[in-house]
């Protein structure tokens, strides 16, 4: 009996203690959490597409001569910066001048020959016309008529040959003059010399590169996914970021066919106002217009397998599943919330669905 009374006494002492602990836990759970909120508003922000690309030169030009010749002068070295119109290389002018002089001499001879042939032809034409009338009148014989006609035909053949020789000599002379003009190669755009391939005095074959120049115009090569081709077009503006250094750009070319390996379409984004180290990796943000909707701070988004935010109603915060959209700077467009609702932007890590909150200014 005494043992039973002792047990009842212990139980009576433990029960109030347990009840007190549960009450304290409830009080802790109901303690208001400090949060900061903003009122959700519909707004308009830029719609962008983000890609990664590589800095490259617009083009590499390999310059060559139109004729074989001895290299007379190299005006540049590897690494030199050049401007449009700068001299790059020049053939030996002495050899060319000899060729032009010889071609001019041939042309002068051809001019003289054609003049003689023309005079002879005119003489025999006049003579033939006279003899033809005399033959019709019966004054001269058939043999005399045929002899004069043969002389006239021979003079005409000689003239045609002289004319052909003159045309050939004229074409050769003009060609040699053009070689003189082409004997000096000038840069056709600003850039930097990649390399020179011959030394002064060496024989340079026709059409072989003598010097190569990289264009100073830089581009970003970007592989565009097929789904974005309707949004990114020639003329689309872009912001380029290379290790925090930014520049403006514009799409100047998009490949008609995709790359066989990546199945993306290469777009060239021409850099407008800066130069970067070739081969650098660049972030490219394409500006494809504006989109109106609910834009909230990215930092307000929570995730546990699903993306959600906390919306305050009365003195409590409730979990709301949202669908994420485009990102612009530090904001993201979402679906699942409405204008006028209060969005928790600070203190949400301490909340659970239905937590009591105390809104801080």
Q: pLDDT value at position 10?
A: 42
How does pLDDT run across 145-175, given as a tens digit for each residue?
A: 899 899 999 999 999 999 999 999 999 998 8
Q: With 90 as the cut, is the pLDDT of residue 299 above it?
A: yes
- Distance (Å, whole) CA 357 – CA 349: 12
Q: pLDDT value at position 30?
A: 76
Q: pLDDT value at position 178?
A: 82
How does pLDDT run across 111-135, given as a tens digit for each residue?
A: 999 999 999 999 999 998 988 888 8
Q: How confident is the model at residue 12 (pLDDT cuts 50, 70, 90)?
A: low
The DSSP symbol for 324 reads E
Q: pLDDT value at position 138?
A: 84
| Mean pLDDT for the stretch of residues 243-260 | 94
Q: With 70 as the cut, is the pLDDT of residue 292 above it?
A: yes
CATH of domain 64-191: 1.10.287
Lowest mean pLDDT among 14-23, 44-53, 221-230, 341-350: 14-23
Residue carrying structure tokens 């083009």: 59
> What string of DSSP letters covers 79-124?
T-EE-TT-EEEEE-HHHHHHHHHHHHHHHHHHHHHHHHHHHHHHHH
Q: With 50 as the cut, is the pLDDT of residue 286 above it?
A: yes
Query: What is the residue extent of each domain of the chain?
Result: 1-30, 32-47+291-359, 50-59+215-289, 64-191
Q: pLDDT value at position 7?
A: 39
Q: pLDDT value at position 19?
A: 45
State which H helix or E strand residue 3 sits in.
Answer: helix 2-29
- Distance (Å, whole) CA 293 – CA 290: 10
How does pLDDT run across 326-361, given as a tens digit for each residue?
A: 787 788 989 999 999 999 999 999 999 999 999 998
Q: pLDDT value at position 28?
A: 45
Q: Which residues contact 108 (CB under 8 A, 6 or more apart)?
A: none
Lowest mean pLDDT among 16-20, 39-43, 229-233, 301-305: 16-20
The DSSP symbol for 321 reads E
- Distance (Å, whole) CA 294 – CA 354: 23
| Mean pLDDT for the stretch of residues 77-97 | 90
Q: With 60 as the cut, is the pLDDT of residue 21 above it?
A: no
Q: Which two tokens stand for residue 127?
A: 């003579």
- On average, the pLDDT of the chain sits at 88
Q: How confident is the model at residue 302 (pLDDT cuts 50, 70, 90)?
A: very high
Q: pLDDT value at position 46?
A: 78
How does pLDDT run across 197-245, given as a tens digit for each residue?
A: 999 999 999 999 999 998 888 999 999 999 999 999 999 999 999 999 9
| Mean pLDDT for the stretch of residues 290-297 | 88
Percent with pLDDT over 90 in the chain: 64
CATH of domain 32-47+291-359: 2.40.420.20
Residue carrying structure tokens 């021979």: 154
Q: With 50 as the cut, is the pLDDT of residue 11 above it?
A: no
Q: pLDDT value at position 96?
A: 81
Which CATH number is 50-59+215-289's, of 3.20.20.210, 1.10.3720.10, 3.20.20.70, 2.40.30.170?
2.40.30.170
| Mean pLDDT for the stretch of residues 186-203 | 92
Q: pLDDT value at position 268?
A: 95
- Distance (Å, whole) CA 48 – CA 66: 49
Q: pLDDT value at position 55?
A: 94
Q: pLDDT value at position 15?
A: 44
């Amino acid at each position: 009996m005494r043992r039973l009374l002792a047990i009842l006494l212990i139980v009576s002492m433990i029960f109030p203690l347990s009840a007190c602990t549960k009450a304290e836990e409830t009080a802790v759970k109901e303690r208001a959490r400090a949060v900061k909120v903003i009122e959700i508003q519909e707004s308009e922000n830029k719609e962008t597409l983000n890609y990664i690309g590589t800095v490259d030169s617009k083009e590499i030009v390999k310059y060559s001569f139109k004729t074989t010749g001895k290299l007379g002068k190299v005006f540049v070295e590897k690494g030199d910066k050049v401007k449009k119109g700068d001299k790059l290389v020049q053939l030996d002018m002495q050899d060319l001048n000899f060729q032009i002089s010889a071609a001019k001499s041939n042309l002068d001879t051809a001019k003289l020959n054609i003049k003689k042939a023309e005079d002879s032809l005119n003489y025999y034409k006049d003579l033939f016309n006279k003899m033809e009338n005399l033959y019709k009148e019966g004054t001269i014989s058939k043999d005399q008529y045929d002899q004069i006609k043969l002389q006239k035909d021979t003079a005409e053949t000689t003239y045609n040959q002289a004319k052909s020789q003159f045309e050939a000599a004229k074409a050769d002379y003009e060609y040699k003059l053009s070689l003189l003009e082409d004997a000096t190669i000038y840069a056709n755009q600003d850039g930097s010399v990649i390399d020179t391939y011959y030394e002064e005095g060496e024989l340079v074959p026709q059409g072989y590169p003598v010097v190569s120049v990289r264009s100073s115009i830089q581009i970003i090569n970007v592989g565009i996914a097929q789904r974005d081709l309707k949004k990114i077009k020639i003329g689309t503006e872009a912001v380029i970021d290379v290790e925090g250094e930014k520049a403006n750009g514009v799409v100047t070319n998009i490949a008609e066919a995709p790359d066989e390996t990546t199945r993306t379409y290469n777009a060239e984004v021409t850099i407008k106002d800066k130069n970067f180290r070739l081969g650098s990796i660049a972030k490219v943000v394409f500006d494809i217009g504006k989109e109106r909707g609910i834009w909230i701070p990215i930092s307000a988004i929570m995730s546990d397998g699903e993306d959600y935010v906390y919306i305050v109603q009365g003195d409590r915060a409730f979990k709301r599943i949202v669908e994420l959209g485009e990102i612009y700077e530090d904001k993201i467009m979402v679906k699942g919330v409405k204008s006028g609702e209060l969005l928790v932007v600070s203190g949400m890590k301490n909340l659970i669905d239905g937590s009591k909150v105390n809104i801080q200014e």
